[in-house]
Structure 1
Amino acid sequence: MVDPTTGPLVGTIFHLLLAAGLGALIGLEREQSESGGSFAGSRTFPLIALYGALVQAFFPSVLPVAVGTLVVPLTVAYVGKIWYEGDIGLTTLVAALVTVILGAMAMHSDRGAIIAIIGGGAITVLLSVKDPVHEFANQIEESERRASAKFIIVVLVVLPALPDRSLGVLYGLNPRFIWLMIVFVTGLGFAAYVLGQMLGPERGIALTGIVGGSVSSTATTVSMAEKTTQNATLYHVCAFAVVTASIVIFPRALIEIAVVNPDLLSSVALPLGAMTVVGAVAAGVLYWLTASNETVEPEELKNPFRLRPALLFGVIFAAVLLVSEHANEWFGASGVYATAFVSGLADVDAMTITLSQLAAEGAVSTEVATTGIVIAAIANTLLKAALAWVLGTHRLGRLVSIVLGAVVLSGLAFLVV
């Protein structure tokens, strides 16, 4: 690759080629999908990207005018496309306009070039998944659409309006931070839900555990346990789903820590990583032991983008945050660990984010935060084993307990080390 730092001319050529490459990438997708038709394709999109790049390079002050000027021929071409092909879709037209901006960004700076690469890749992926996206949209029920719309509106309206400071009336809590964490945690579940809906009900037992665990590992465990009471021969495949759903909370916690307090990640990565690896290996063995004719219907996944569960998580998170902070002041590390175990039975996310935030503020040490997060994860894992015993068959409970017991021991071993 040419080093753009060797000189201004070489750098300009490099960024021009980058802009053309991004345009070609989008243009090839439009032509291969036959969505562009006679409107634009593999030759037009690189030219459009170069247009934006050249204007940005030599006439940056007139870029808005240049984009507006391009709208005229694009509109004429679009009208002609409607007239001759009867296709009124706006996707290709909008993609063309965005490509102009990507070309300008690629030329603007090195940072702009990086963002243009990420944006161009994301746009290409979005354009290429037309059918799955439309199928997913058609599968969404009216109640789910209303729930998602309400939550998104509340996020867009409430989040900016909340004060970004500690309030005495809330015992020192920051309302915007709490709501932001609600959006973040619920968004992780929603992403898994979208994946599950796009893959469809035939996605297989492996993804049933992964997706179900991301949305609600407890609900997945309960569902699988109940299925073994209906058909005891399914205990292998149901145990696999329970174990998979249970270990999903560990990488999920690592993601939350990376967002809230990246400095804590290296300390927590070893015990949670060990629990993930041991659980994944055990799940692989269970999958191998599962007979090919053993099938189980996945549980009905509900849209996690609902206001009431989101608010409930917010209340739990706020309570855990307050209790953990005061427990550390009054009882030291032992108070934090007791809080972590109790709260971990209900929700690992709340304790993970709480201790990550307290460690970032210096309210608790890195060691205490790490131990507390692992304790919360262990408590939640033990709860899954207990649910398998109580709600499922004896075989399911024994198998899940052995596997999750090994997972817990691995976490404790690396925590002690």
Structure 2
Amino acid sequence: MNSVGLAIDGDLLRIVLAGALGLFLGLEREWSHKSAGIRTFSLISLLAAVFTVLDQPLLLAIGGLFVAVQGLLLAVQGLLVEESGLSLTTSVSMLVAYGVGVLVGAGRLVEGVTVAVLSSLLLVLKRELHSFAWGMSREELRSTTEFAVLAFVIYPLLPAGDVPIGAAGFEVAVEPRVIWLMVVTVAGIGIVNYAIVNSYGGRGIAITGFFGGLASSTAVVGTMLDHVRQRPSSASYAVAAILLADAAMAVRNLGIALAFTIEAPLFGAIVPLAAVVLGSFLIAGVIADWDEEVEMELESPFSLRNALGFGAIFLLIVVAGAFAEAHLGTAGFYATAALSGLVSSAGAATSAVVLYRTGSLEHDVAVIAILLATVSSLVVKAALAATSPNREFARQVAIWTGVLVAVTGVATAAVLL
């Protein structure tokens, strides 16, 4: 008796929730003065929930067909009546409301609520989404499309688990999906920070240096070199920008070291990389003239060629690192990591993480490799700054880079020795 009552109560709750979610979906349509609003959407979700609870597939199919036909009629009406415009959004939203009712009626409450909230958000943010799309350049649109191909087309096609790669008696296990996921992650960081730098780059050196450094620390150095050449008096905050780019690079490498080793995190990398971050911020805060602003222009946030190039270099680093570890010992792998860091500290860090995940590297070896790549990146930026005709600027970058390298070494020794 009680179990029957509980079942009835459960069915009633699902029906009520379906009606409420339909009403929620219809709010924006009602506010926009569309032909289908709160009552229509709520009734559609109720109808779907009732048919689902009754477990009547035929009625459910008829109901779905009815909603689809009604949506089609609304779309045709929009074409015939010039003032109302095309009503495809309302038509599709009605089908979504019916689907929400089916999900809730079937007991998939989380899925139903999620679909309803996301759909309502898409309806409410119509102007913002349109403005965003219309404001994109052709290059940005192409980059976004290419990123989607990498993340949602290529990634699912890659084999899961370890895949052995080798020849002539040498073999190393790699995880294609993990490697590609790291490529996608680095590319995603570039896209996000491209948008941030373009939006706020002229408002302060902190955003330009730090967020620009997440996207490309080399771009920050190049921008500062050009700015110092044009305005020699701006050397102090140009140095600060490079230091903040160093901090961003360390944050990125720390994120790679921890995010992809959740089961057995590389905790040894936390203190040294955190020391780089804190030291960079502290020095930049002391030496910079924060009243100055600098514009920074980044190139296209992402391209398929760059992604494939990064993936190829990264895979080469992984294989070379494993080969060095197997035939030259730990010192050989360290040398590979240091040299790789001159090109891409992110690539060297991710290669160490991949080898650590597959058991090819021990914890301390992976940590030291990541730190060597980080130090190499610091040295590269100092070397680039040394090409500036402004000797004071080059000297300041070299001095503070040396301080950061020393701090990293001390922190590493304190943690690992």
Matched, 1:252 2:252: yes
Matched, 1:323 2:309: no
Retained in 1: the 8 A contact 2:266–2:363?
Answer: no
2:301 corresponds in structure 1 to: 303
List gaps (5 residues or longer) in structure 2.
1-5
1:74 corresponds in structure 2 to: 71
Q: Which moved more, 1:117-126 or 1:360-369?
A: 117-126
Retained in 1: the 8 A contact 2:275–2:411?
Answer: no
List gaps (5 residues or longer) in structure 1.
1-6
Deviations 1:89-110 (A, max 9, x none): 644443443344345445555x
2:225 corresponds in structure 1 to: 225
Retained in 2: the 8 A contact 1:239–1:286?
Answer: no
Deviation at 1:322, TM superposition (A): 0.9
Q: Counterparts of 1:194 and 1:120 in 2: how far apart (Å)? A: 29
1:342 corresponds in structure 2 to: 339
Deviation at 1:184, TM superposition (A): 3.8
Do the aligned partners of residues 228 and 44 (structure 1) sit closer, same or farther apart at CA in structure 2, a change above 3 Å counting? farther
1:382 corresponds in structure 2 to: 379
1:208 corresponds in structure 2 to: 208
Deviation at 1:386, TM superposition (A): 3.4
Q: Counterparts of 1:41 and 1:203 in 2: how far apart (Å)? A: 44
Which amino acid counterpart does residue 215 of structure 2 have in structure 1?
V
Deviation at 1:142, TM superposition (A): 3.7
Q: Counterparts of 1:57 and 1:8 in 2: how far apart (Å)? A: 11
Matched, 1:267 2:267: yes
Which amino acid counterpart does residue 379 of structure 1 have in structure 2?
S
- The share of aligned pairs that are identical, in percent, is 28
Do the aligned partners of residues 127 and 361 (structure 1) sit closer, same or farther apart at CA in structure 2, a change above 3 Å counting? same
Which amino acid counterpart does residue 387 of structure 1 have in structure 2?
L
User: Which of 79, 82, 85 is matched with 1:87 structurally?
Assistant: 85
Q: Counterparts of 1:97 and 1:414 in 2: how far apart (Å)? A: 59
Which amino acid counterpart does residue 55 of structure 2 have in structure 1?
F
2:3 corresponds in structure 1 to: none
User: Which of 131, 134, 145 is matched with 1:138 structurally?
Assistant: 134
Deviation at 1:231, TM superposition (A): 0.9
Do the aligned partners of residues 108 and 235 (structure 1) sit closer, same or farther apart at CA in structure 2, a change above 3 Å counting? farther
Deviation at 1:28, TM superposition (A): 4.7
Larger C-alpha radius of gyration, 1 or 2? 2
Which amino acid counterpart does residue 84 of structure 2 have in structure 1?
G
Deviation at 1:21, TM superposition (A): 6.1
Which amino acid counterpart does residue 352 of structure 1 have in structure 2?
A
Q: Counterparts of 1:310 and 1:236 in 2: how far apart (Å)? A: 34
2:192 corresponds in structure 1 to: 191
Q: Counterparts of 1:21 and 1:200 in 2: how far apart (Å)? A: 41
Report how many aligned residue pairs link the two structures.
Answer: 403
Retained in 1: the 8 A contact 2:248–2:277?
Answer: no
Which amino acid counterpart does residue 134 of structure 1 have in structure 2?
H
Retained in 1: the 8 A contact 2:258–2:267?
Answer: no
1:234 corresponds in structure 2 to: 234
Residue pairs, 1:392-411, within 5 angstroms: 393-397=390-394, 399-400=396-397, 408=405, 411=408
Q: Counterparts of 1:251 and 1:297 in 2: how far apart (Å)? A: 23
Do the aligned partners of residues 47 and 219 (structure 1) sit closer, same or farther apart at CA in structure 2, a change above 3 Å counting? farther
Q: Counterparts of 2:102 and 2:283 in 1: how far apart (Å)? A: 48
Matched, 1:332 2:324: no
Which amino acid counterpart does residue 244 of structure 1 have in structure 2?
L
Deviation at 1:196, TM superposition (A): 4.8
Residue 166 of structure 1 aligns to a residue whose secondary structure is strand
Do the aligned partners of residues 76 and 297 (structure 1) sit closer, same or farther apart at CA in structure 2, a change above 3 Å counting? same
Residue 326 of structure 1 aligns to a residue whose secondary structure is helix
Retained in 2: the 8 A contact 1:48–1:96?
Answer: yes
Retained in 2: the 8 A contact 1:150–1:307?
Answer: yes
Deviations 1:130-156 (A, max 9, x none): 445434433444455456556655776
TM-score scaled by length of structure 2: 0.76
Q: Counterparts of 1:325 and 1:397 in 2: how far apart (Å)? A: 37
Deviation at 1:363, TM superposition (A): 1.1
Q: Which moved more, 1:383-392 or 1:282-291?
A: 282-291
Deviations 1:154-179 (A, max 9, x none): 77665566566334469656584344
